[in-house]
Every structure is written in C-alpha cells, then in structure tokens.
C-alpha cells in the first residue's frame, strides 16, 4: 500500500516553492491556524511524498534561521563582489 497522497488544493494562506533540482519537486507551506500548525509538505508532481507539522510557536525560530542564513549569504556575496573590484570591505559606493 502506498503512503503517497494525491494533490489537494492549497489553503489560501499557503505558498509553493519549486525545488532547485527540478524534476517536478516542490515544497508547499500552509498555515492551519485551527490546528495551531504550519504544514510543510514535499511534492513530486501531483503526489505528496511527506509532511511535517510545525507548531506555530516554533515558526519564529524557523524564520530566524532562514533570515540569518540569508543575511550571511548576502554578506558573503557582498564581500566577494567588493574583493573582485579590489575594494576594502568597509568601502561604500
């Protein structure tokens, strides 16, 4: 018996993110306030291959992780860009 489920409509408070690897992979994130969770589900085409229910009180920690990672990536790209022009790290155009 397969544990994968057919696609269901995404709630109005959700979003779909395509996997960088392609192959029709996606992550769906949807709020379910009535249950007190955010559901993260992995999709391959129209088939759900797994879900994770994140308690609403844990969402700020996830958001902080993503924001900090984005800031680090931006800082790294900025330093690489400036180094490519021979500029000091603290120079501003």
Interval 8-38: pLDDT, tens: 566 677 999 999 999 999 999 999 999 999 9
Residue 5 in this model has a pLDDT that exceeds 60? no
Say what the pTM is.
Answer: 0.67
Residue 1 in this model has a pLDDT that exceeds 70? no
Residue 2 in this model has a pLDDT that exceeds 60? no
Task: Determine how many CB atoms are found less than 10 A away from the CB of residue 56.
Answer: 13
Interval 38-89: pLDDT, tens: 999 999 999 999 999 999 999 999 999 999 999 988 877 777 777 777 655 5
Q: Is 28 helix (H, G, I), strand (E, B) or coil?
A: strand
Q: Which residues contact 6 (CB under 8 A, 6 or more apart)?
A: 46, 47, 48
Closest CA to 63 of 88, 89, 38, 28: 38
């Amino acid at each position: 018996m397969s544990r994968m489920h057919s696609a269901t409509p995404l709630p109005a408070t959700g979003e779909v993110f395509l996997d960088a690897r392609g192959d029709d992979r996606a992550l769906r994130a949807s709020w379910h306030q009535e249950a007190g969770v955010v559901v993260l589900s992995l999709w391959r085409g129209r088939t759900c291959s797994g879900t994770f229910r994140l308690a609403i009180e844990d969402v700020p920690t996830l958001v902080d992780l993503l924001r900090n990672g984005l800031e680090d990536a931006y800082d790294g790209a900025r330093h690489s860009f400036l180094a490519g022009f021979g500029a000091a790290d603290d120079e501003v155009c």
